[in-house]
Amino acid sequence: MTTDGALVLFSGGQDSTTCLAWALTRFARVETVGFDYGQRHRIEMKVRLDVLSAMQARFPGWKPKMGEDHVLSLDVLKQIGGTALTGAMAIEMGADGLPTTFVPGRNVMFLTAAAALGYRRGIADLVGGMCETDFSGYPDCRDKAIVAVSEALTLALARRVSVHTPLMWIDKAATWSLAEELGGTALVDLIRDETATCYEGNRVRRHEWGYGCGVCPACDLRAKGYMKYISR
């Protein structure tokens, strides 16, 4: 099995785009995988392709490293339901103390599917944008959860599975700064103008930090992080 490749969990949002750039500076071959799970913000399935095209066009040095893009269906998450990201529910805090945007088991399923795909592709290094520093309180974004999943997958596949989470210990402002370190203002501009983070999938309202409804938790985190970033 080759060890020079990475598989990035790629939604076309700010975090996964920054992680893609991070992987492209460290691995000789980088593939991407997206997940269609009936998400409310369906626009991400188109935007992710636009972002990949923009990355290849604006960063010719990275283009040769960018390998195949994959899309896997995880409709079971929509079938389970009960979340504002897969159904017509208000985005608010739930009775359990978690936002209604929490999709139980999502990151565990994402990583499991990605690890299985990586097994077939000869890739042992997965890269994800999980973060427990500046997030919505999702328990499956915490470092302990990701480490545990990585260890379980290593045992289950009988070969090493490494999950890299370059954003785990930084806030959204630092994520913007990391993008600048990796790809200069060109990457910051690409992330601001091309990526989709909004839970409502709003691509009409344009803000200083990019497109979005400006109200949902994802927009709020992104906006606050951007304003902190530019005010350094």
Dist CA 40 CA 18 (whole Å): 23
Dist CA 124 CA 165 (whole Å): 14
What's this model's pTM, rounded to 2 decimal places? 0.94
Instruction: Check residue 220 and report its DSSP letter.
Output: H
> Using one digit for the tens of pLDDT, what is the confidence trace for 23-65?
999 999 999 999 998 887 788 899 999 999 999 999 999 999 9
Sorted by sequence, the CB contacts under 8 Å of residue 221 that are 6+ apart come out as: 134, 135, 136, 172
Average pLDDT, the chain: 92
Q: Angle of helix 44-58 relative to helix 172-194, nearest 10 degrees?
A: 90
pLDDT-based confidence at residue 1 (cuts at 50, 70, 90):
very low
Whole-number pLDDT of residue 135? 65
Q: What are the start-end ranges of the E strands in 47-90?
A: 66-73
Domain definitions of the chain by residue range: 5-197
Fold of 5-197: Rossmann fold (3.40.50)
Q: Angle of helix 106-121 relative to helix 143-157, nearest 10 degrees?
A: 40
Is residue 108 packed enough to be buried (19+ CB in 10 Å), middle (13-18) or exposed (0-12)? middle
Closest CA to 1 of 21, 29, 35, 23: 29
> Using one digit for the tens of pLDDT, what is the confidence trace for 186-226?
999 999 999 999 988 899 999 999 999 999 889 999 999 99
pLDDT-based confidence at residue 2 (cuts at 50, 70, 90):
very low
Whole-number pLDDT of residue 33? 98
Dist CA 61 CA 144 (whole Å): 35
